[in-house]
Structure 1
Amino acid sequence: MFEADGPLVGRTADLARIDRFLEGIARTPGGGGPLLLLGEPGVGKTALLAATTARAEHRGMHVVAAAGAEYRAQLSYSGLGRLIAEAAAAQPPADLGEALSVALGHRDGPPPDHGSVARDVLSLAARLAGHRPTLIVVDDIQWLDPASATILGDVARRMAGFAAGMLCAAREGTESFFDHSGLPIHDVRPLGEADAHDLLERSFPALAPRVRRRLITEAQGNPLALLELPIALDASPRTATALPERLPLSRRLQSAFASRITGLPPATRYLLLLAALDATGDLDVVRRAATGRCGLKHLAPAERAQLIRVHEPAGLHFRHPLTRSAVVELATSDQRRSAHRALARAWQEVPERQAWHLAQAAQGPDERVAALLERAAGVIAGRGDGPAAVAALLRAADLTPQAPERARRLAEAACTSAHLSGDLRDVPHLLDTARRTAPGADSPAMAVAGAAYLLNGSGDIDTAHRLLCGALTTRPAPYDPADTGLADALHTLLLVCFFGGRPELWPPFDTALANYPVPPVLLAAARRTFADPARTGPSDLAVLDEAIAALTHDPDPRRIVRTAITGAYLDRLDGCTEALHRVVAGGRRGEHIAPAIDALFLLGNHAWLTGQWEQLQQAAREGLDLCEQHHYPMQAWVGKYLLACTAAARGHHGTTRTLTDQMNHWAGPRRADTVRAYAAHARTLSALGQGDFEEAYQQATLITPPGTLPPFASHAIWTVMDLAEAAMRTGRRTQAQDHATAARTAGLDTLSPRLKMLVHATGALTADDDRHPGFQDALAVEGGERWPFDLARIHLHYGERLRRARARAQARHHLGTAADLFEQLGAEPWADRANQELRACGTPARTAPRPAGAVLTPQQRQIAALAAAGLTNKRIAERLALSPRTVSTHLYQLFPKVGVTSRAGLRDALKRLDQQ
């Protein structure tokens, strides 16, 4: 959280005091304890915290950091929650304690008293210190929420005696709920004249001596003032005469900014207030809002004072955030409301901004404004800005006169927190407030938020199912298609039913969907393509493909993720990857955590199927980190499933066993059958790789019985070839052939090229004829090289059959291709199988992948270049007068030569070849 920005000037004595404090932490018993840094704004407290953090980490200490934030809405215990989340990110605690868990919303219970919460925090600090010395760092404690500040003050006085310390920083002279009576205090003083001169000399070497002396006098040793004020001046010697005659800089930096603002003309201060409250930097908005009162020419004094920068034609920026804060604080409440009303008029063409300013101008409940703001929250959420959408909904609730409507909006805020912003811990507080506001009131949003909290708390699928079904049955039919809350409830119920994986969960969903006059098309398609893909029809595929095509410019992360989920089982993620990467980028900015987790795992899923297993590892690990940081364990099982499958394919069978044991341990008592199917799939792959075909058969039949693709067993379509292979290898030919027939009868080959490839290969694998054409049909599928692991397995099976039929030359070709692909993927057990078959054909086994610099034929080079440019096999074939099958054959032959497993790596691989 705190990063050092170069060496500190004039802080030798301060750093010596901090070093003594750190040394004391490691001395137990009797070590540890608190230290409070007090000083004026801008004096360098945060810089000292950064230096302390670096020193502590260099000593091998575990540092947990958090900070208060001005002007940010603070829920009770939110500051403490950030601190605990930081601690858990590096050293997950076994148990937070009952009081702390309730306070942070991790479990239900009566509100705990502060003493109990403080004891739990102290116990957690002691456990962390038991692993290694621990430093808790809290900046700007004056801006912490009252509950967190009170608890941390209590903890600070009681933490001596073990290897942990608490270093806090606060502005002197400010009121806070952090009680520092009796705590050791270190005053951070302004710099002396010599040090101030040194700082200016280092930072602004071109300053004229007279200007430098004047600044040292005016800044009174405040480092931030010394670094900011020179920017307001011309570096020429005559600049000193342009300084205001009186610029009283108090000992507090905020006062320095305030004094510069109070000397401005009223019209200028009004324009600054408009700009500060608008915060977009749009000069045209300020101009429209000020119409009839003043013009933009009145900004000139603020420009000359270097409080703002104006970039024509339309940009206005405050030079320092404290300037904006000071402008707002210096205005009276009437002035602020008047400015917000003017800004609302200026933003009348943008309803969500207009609504926000109207809400800030309101003095009491106002349903019209609350309704506008709620609609604005929907627009903001559609752009993916979860925190802003939640803030708008909470303000709308504040302005709502009727208790039931106020409760509904609070529930909407809880729902948005859970499914967009990633603030799952806020959900219990918001729902509790909603229920107290209007006892007995209910809404789909309340059910959605409650279900999300249940699923990620206790993992209670059945209770979440009952909660959602209950909310849906209370809504009058037919449903209003414009009621987004109902659609959200159904999307959530879809996922609950999916993870439950039991047919009896689905009838209430189907009943609710039938209550729409015209069901939402994506939701209706997902009911088949995601929940029961084996029964997907052409119309569903058309809807899905149209929805994916529309993602190019879609800003809504929820719709992007829902669309990708709808197409995941039918191999449609190729068309979603760009949009999913946008969702991940927004998550990294903190705008929408929950969709970003889903997006990462969907990208991991795509990487698994397309052989980009290093990318899979990165995406899954990042997603799992977010799950842990934001308390989304339910979503984590998808990431663990992907890691378990990759580990199985690469022969890391212990990792697969550990991850699948975790899945089964969690899923068993919760009856989460899909999570158990995840585990069975990974174990099937692991067993196949080890040649334990009986175990593979037993695991595969946990997903689906042989010869059938039962309703709602989504995962069954991905394990068709696995089950058939295991059945054939264990002498269950009839079951294997029945399963191949079931896949063909269900029309899986019409759903995606990859499934078509698998259906053809499964038919050939289970046939009595060793020369069955199904293998050739599978290898001829357009774009088959996009799925290298599946492709390599088909080559392996085909090569095994050809060797058995004594067609050794043909067998060697397919077995060699399989070995190359497996080796490129790092799928060692499968590469070993291919090499064993090669030896049986009289060919030495491959000991390493072919060199990346192997020579390509001219035709292969042409094909590789066109494929890297994004052309399909069909278009390449048309351009080169070849058949698509020939193009496909060349591609999977050249991939091992250039050291890639899919088209995604071709461009870089060809670049490397050009440089050799």
Structure 2
Amino acid sequence: MVGRDGERTRLSAFVLAPDGQALVLRGEAGVGKSTLLDLAARLAAEDGQLVVRATGVEAESGLPHAGLHQLLYPLLPTSDDRPSDGRAFDNRSSDGRSSDDRSSDDRPFDDRPSGAPPLGATARAAFDAVFGRPDGPPPPVMALGIAVLDLLSWTASKGRPVLLVLDDGQWLDEASAEVCGFVGRRLAGRPGVKLLVAVRGDTASPFDTAALPEAPIGALADADATRLLDLHHPRLGRQVRGLVLEQAGGNPLALLELPAHLADGPGDRAGQDLLGLHGVPLPRRIQEIYAARLARLGDTVRAELLRGALDGAAARPGDGPAPIARYRMREVDAAVACGLLVVEPAAGEFAFRHPLVRSSVVQLATPDQRRAAHRVLAQLHREYPERRAIHLAAATVDPEEGVAADLEAAARSATRRGGARLAVSWLTRAAELSETRVDRSRRLGEAAYVAGQTDHLGRARSLALAAAPGTDESPAAVLADSYLALYRDGEVRATHHRIVAAVERLRDSPDRAGQHGPDRPDRPDRPDEVLDRLVSLLLAVSQYAGDRATWRRTHEVLATLGDLATERAWMYGSTWSDVVRHGAGWSRRVERAAAGLEDQDPWDVTRLAVSAYHLDVLSPLRPYLERVVDRELDTGAMSSGIVMLHLVLLDQLALGQWDAAERTGHRALALALATERGHGLFAHRTRAYLAQLAAVRGRTAEARELQTAVEAWARPRGVGFLTQIADAVGATAALSAGDYETAFLHAIGITAPGVFRPYAYQASRTLLDLVEAALHTGRAEQARAHALAARDAGLPDLSPRLALITYGALAMTAEDDTEASAHYARAQSHPAAERFPFELARIRLAHGIAVRRLHGAAAARLPLTQAAKTFDRLGAPAWAARAHAELRAAGVAPHTPAPAPLPLTWQERRVAELAAGGLTNKEIGEQMRLSPRTVSAHLYHAFPKLGITTRAALRDALTRASQPTPAP
């Protein structure tokens, strides 16, 4: 029993107490009252008590003393005085069977006390009336109650305490309830007799005025409800699980029975529920809880309840979506009286007592009644296009293009607000209401595409086939199949060929526009949406393939499209493929496109963010990704949500937020491995990123284990995107372990020294790894050639990170101290240097080592201290140990603070002041008649003297400096 510890403790104390007493359990239907009664009966039986059980029956609620007969009959003595017709009454023993269901050897009465109780004439007459001998008027309540008390006391006096258990007390006939109340109030002075009653809290009961002690049985707490559901239905998908928890509202019966009615077709069922068209399908047992009460209401009241239920009226006070106005139910006091509604105290509005009530109202209505209610609601929401379209769609039977178009627009809006799963249902309905075959096919194709993005790949394929019956090569079918092949199986070669063929067929089709719909005013940048989606998927496949031949073929296809290829397509094709050769000039355009993320579909946001990652300008997009990722994972585009997690992880990794990155990575891996998805590509991509994280943290065994798993999966499939990451992991892990030869071998597996292999996106990202590994293995010429190649390729102009590591590589491989100092200064004074703390710390470590050897220990202490602190903060122990060892060699004992800043020369101070004013090195040089390199050198010397590392800190540092400026 889950979540009932308090109730179990109270019932145990009640059952085992020696004194007589009564208790009423009150709670809504399905909350578990009968289970608690079973527990009490079992405890009493184990204690040797006589347990007598009865159940109120609604059909007998009008028969006087019918319930009392169930309770008394097992206690009457086996004598000739027992009424001959007593068995005609329905009566239950502790095992729930009536007396007529048993043989003479299997009757509960065999366990009754033997011998006739000492009943007086008044008591005997009372029992005769109860058991069907109407020789006189019915006995008064007091007389019958006293007779019952005497019978119970005599039974208990035989050495066996009695527990009377009454379930469904709300259906007990009034005469029996009055006697039970009379008896229950007087049990305190009669040891050995107890009365336990269960009644529904949302139904009027004759025990409401009995004045007996009560124990409320409430709904399960959220944590307990989740635990109960997971114990009985551990394999539920996320969406169905969330829907069950929401609809059940902590009701155990609903938690146990709803999943079986939702498991077949979770996407469609859940979408319909969110849409409010059909309600959640309820098991018969739950329907029966409310069906009788609904049937007793008038047609007008039931119509009001139906409109409120279909429009999302609150399931309980305080629930329900706002701020859109909802239908306000009126004149429904009868529904309040029978426990279906409650009145919200604050606003005085009606609300459903429980989500199950709302679903029952919808499900028990006829189709005609639902359509009529939707027509009323469509008129109510004429100022809210989405809700109006939804209700019109539900009210419409025959195809109607206007309604279909409105519903399609509502679906597009939903995808941008995290409702991609919901949009699939709306688009499917829009296709059903389409008047032409072309529009129907187009909308089914759209539904298939969105279904693929929401990770329902099987449904996406069935919708795609419905969009173009009889062919597997329609654009929608190719999209659906290609998503399945790429993301689940990692198939890049065959998928690329198939998409290329589909793009070329679509490009050359004379009636392309007719097949895929006219331009929409709300999407002016996508005149041919299906073609655009095929191209985007082609680019994604090419990125994962990561080889020259695939990308060249993709760029050839893009070139043949002419104006049909959008700017976004060229942006992705340039930044995802080879940022060294094609990335120039795209950073500003990515930043401009990121200004309107709220108006973009989630998959468009993730594609743009991938471009931002390749250009190292992802951080400005990350707040939006973090804000919407949970929404997409719960109710929207699952595939885009996982990619969003990947992008957040990569930015956390770059910014040195490694603990958070590890949590993000494990969350993404769990989602990718979920049985309802099983995305092999996403799972191994996540492992690759976690391997990178383990490598920089010096956990080489973990990094190599993950690297091996990624390589074993990716290399046979030709997924170069992942094999390049695996090589990069090998290089970084070897550098962390000080194994520079292995690091060099891994690095040249990505690209040869002195060149950047075309379409190898890790070639530029591992620049620093290759240079360091080459220097430590005596390959200084190759290291120098690689640093110069980075400079000549214009890497500093492509991204801030590439600028930082290019200057660092040039400094490490410089041929003289002056050049090295200038490049170290440019690296450490770069405005974005602090955004990449791991790379910056490595450059400072190399700088400190070089300075100590050339200029002595004192000059090396500041960069070495800065590097050591950064490595300590990041959690990179291998790198930190190396930095601390160099500090000790520089004469700094462990935990010794960094040296105090030195005074600036006049020229250093003047350069610093101009830089603090926002001037560039070139502008400062022109004003002071110095070369930009000399300006960089002055800043390089000024930064450590001021105790800062960035230009942004110059103004405050100069203000704090109190030393006088010497005359020139």
- Determine if the alignment matches structure 1 residue 453 to structure 2 residue 498: no
Q: Which residue of 1 aligns with 2:568?
A: 522
Please tell me the residue identity of whatever aligns with 2:608: T
- Determine if the alignment matches structure 1 residue 390 to structure 2 residue 424: yes
**Superposition deviation, residue 423 in structure 1:** 2.8
Q: Which residue of 1 aligns with 2:532?
A: 487
**Superposition deviation, residue 612 in structure 1:** 0.6
- Determine if the alignment matches structure 1 residue 469 to structure 2 residue 500: yes
Structure-2 change in CA distance of 1:839 and 1:286 (3 Å): closer
Q: Which residue of 1 aligns with 2:707?
A: 660
C-alpha distance in 1 between matches for 2:482 and 2:34 = 43
Structure-2 change in CA distance of 1:48 and 1:623 (3 Å): farther
Q: Which moved more, 1:768-777 or 1:785-794?
A: 768-777
Unaligned runs of 5+ in 2: 13-26, 40-164, 171-183, 185-193, 221-247, 252-283, 314-319, 514-518, 520-525, 904-914, 921-937, 954-968
C-alpha distance in 2 between matches for 1:655 and 1:502 = 28
Please tell me the residue identity of whatever aligns with 1:486: L
**Superposition deviation, residue 388 in structure 1:** 0.6
Correspondence for 1:440 among 471, 496, 500: 471
C-alpha distance in 2 between matches for 1:814 and 1:780 = 13
Structure-2 change in CA distance of 1:614 and 1:713 (3 Å): same
Please tell me the residue identity of whatever aligns with 1:819: A
Q: Which residue of 2 aligns with 1:212?
A: 208
C-alpha distance in 2 between matches for 1:813 and 1:855 = 7
C-alpha distance in 2 between matches for 1:227 and 1:637 = 38
Cα shift readout 1:443-497 (whole Å, capped 9, x = no counterpart): 4333222111112332211122122222211213698733333322222221110
User: Match of 2:527, SS?
Assistant: coil
The within-5 A match list for 1:295-374 is 297-299=330-332, 302=335, 307-309=341-343, 317-366=351-400, 368-374=402-408
**Superposition deviation, residue 607 in structure 1:** 0.9
User: Match of 1:475, SS?
Assistant: helix
Please tell me the residue identity of whatever aligns with 2:366: T
- Determine if the alignment matches structure 1 residue 749 to structure 2 residue 745: no
**Superposition deviation, residue 425 in structure 1:** 4.8
**Superposition deviation, residue 532 in structure 1:** 2.0
- Determine if the alignment matches structure 1 residue 689 to structure 2 residue 736: yes
The within-5 A match list for 1:40-439 is 42-44=29-31, 190=167, 212-213=208-209, 254-279=287-312, 297-299=330-332, 302=335, 307-309=341-343, 317-366=351-400, 368-400=402-434, 406=440, 408-419=442-453, 421-431=454-464, 434=466, 438-439=469-470
Please tell me the residue identity of whatever aligns with 1:542: R
Please tell me the residue identity of whatever aligns with 1:258: A
**Superposition deviation, residue 310 in structure 1:** 5.6
User: Match of 2:507, SS?
Assistant: coil
C-alpha distance in 2 between matches for 1:833 and 1:283 = 58
**Superposition deviation, residue 611 in structure 1:** 0.7
C-alpha distance in 1 between matches for 2:503 and 2:755 = 33
Q: CA RMSD in A?
A: 4.7
Larger radius of gyration: 2
Structure-2 change in CA distance of 1:488 and 1:402 (3 Å): same
**Superposition deviation, residue 272 in structure 1:** 2.2
**Superposition deviation, residue 508 in structure 1:** 4.5
C-alpha distance in 1 between matches for 2:750 and 2:250 = 66
Structure-2 change in CA distance of 1:875 and 1:588 (3 Å): farther
Contact 2:168 2:198 in 1 (8 A): no
Q: Which residue of 2 aligns with 1:723?
A: 770
Structure-2 change in CA distance of 1:46 and 1:635 (3 Å): farther
Structure-2 change in CA distance of 1:599 and 1:11 (3 Å): farther
Q: Which moved more, 1:295-304 or 1:627-636?
A: 295-304
**Superposition deviation, residue 766 in structure 1:** 1.3
Correspondence for 2:623 among 569, 578, 581: 578
- Determine if the alignment matches structure 1 residue 544 to structure 2 residue 590: yes
C-alpha distance in 2 between matches for 1:451 and 1:693 = 41
Contact 1:593 1:626 in 2 (8 A): no
**Superposition deviation, residue 516 in structure 1:** 5.1
Structure-2 change in CA distance of 1:416 and 1:891 (3 Å): farther
**Superposition deviation, residue 777 in structure 1:** 1.4
Unaligned runs of 5+ in 1: 14-39, 53-187, 229-250, 290-294, 860-872, 896-901, 904-916
Q: Tell me the TM-score normalized by structure 1.
A: 0.65
- Determine if the alignment matches structure 1 residue 802 to structure 2 residue 802: no
User: Match of 2:778, SS?
Assistant: coil
Please tell me the residue identity of whatever aligns with 2:602: P
**Superposition deviation, residue 615 in structure 1:** 0.4
Structure-2 change in CA distance of 1:663 and 1:329 (3 Å): closer
Contact 1:257 1:326 in 2 (8 A): yes
**Superposition deviation, residue 540 in structure 1:** 1.7
- Determine if the alignment matches structure 1 residue 840 to structure 2 residue 874: no
Q: Which moved more, 1:696-705 or 1:834-843?
A: 834-843
C-alpha distance in 2 between matches for 1:254 and 1:803 = 82
Q: Which residue of 1 aligns with 2:716?
A: 669
Cα shift readout 1:268-317 (whole Å, capped 9, x = no counterpart): 33232222112266899888x8xxxxx96435555666615468879764
Contact 1:196 1:223 in 2 (8 A): no
Contact 2:828 2:949 in 1 (8 A): no
**Superposition deviation, residue 784 in structure 1:** 1.8
Correspondence for 1:625 among 663, 670, 684: 670
Contact 1:422 1:593 in 2 (8 A): yes
Contact 1:604 1:620 in 2 (8 A): yes
Structure-2 change in CA distance of 1:271 and 1:777 (3 Å): same
Contact 2:551 2:577 in 1 (8 A): no
Q: Which residue of 2 aligns with 1:4?
A: 3
Structure-2 change in CA distance of 1:264 and 1:631 (3 Å): same
The alignment of Structure 1 onto Structure 2 pairs a total of residues equal to 678
C-alpha distance in 2 between matches for 1:46 and 1:636 = 45
**Superposition deviation, residue 528 in structure 1:** 1.8
Contact 2:578 2:759 in 1 (8 A): yes
Contact 1:775 1:798 in 2 (8 A): yes
Cα shift readout 1:1-41 (whole Å, capped 9, x = no counterpart): x973664569989xxxxxxxxxxxxxxxxxxxxxxxxxx99
Structure-2 change in CA distance of 1:777 and 1:196 (3 Å): farther
User: Match of 1:571, SS?
Assistant: coil
Structure-2 change in CA distance of 1:723 and 1:5 (3 Å): farther
Cα shift readout 1:180-223 (whole Å, capped 9, x = no counterpart): xxxxxxxx99567999978789x99xx99987347999999999
C-alpha distance in 2 between matches for 1:546 and 1:603 = 20
C-alpha distance in 2 between matches for 1:595 and 1:761 = 35
Structure-2 change in CA distance of 1:284 and 1:411 (3 Å): closer
C-alpha distance in 1 between matches for 2:866 and 2:197 = 68
User: Match of 1:476, SS?
Assistant: helix
Q: Tell me the TM-score normalized by structure 2.
A: 0.62
C-alpha distance in 1 between matches for 2:455 and 2:167 = 41
Q: Which residue of 2 aligns with 1:531?
A: 577
C-alpha distance in 1 between matches for 2:546 and 2:702 = 25
Contact 2:416 2:601 in 1 (8 A): yes
C-alpha distance in 2 between matches for 1:48 and 1:633 = 44
C-alpha distance in 2 between matches for 1:209 and 1:263 = 17
Q: Which moved more, 1:748-757 or 1:510-519?
A: 510-519
C-alpha distance in 1 between matches for 2:475 and 2:345 = 47
**Superposition deviation, residue 739 in structure 1:** 1.4
Structure-2 change in CA distance of 1:531 and 1:8 (3 Å): farther
**Superposition deviation, residue 378 in structure 1:** 2.0
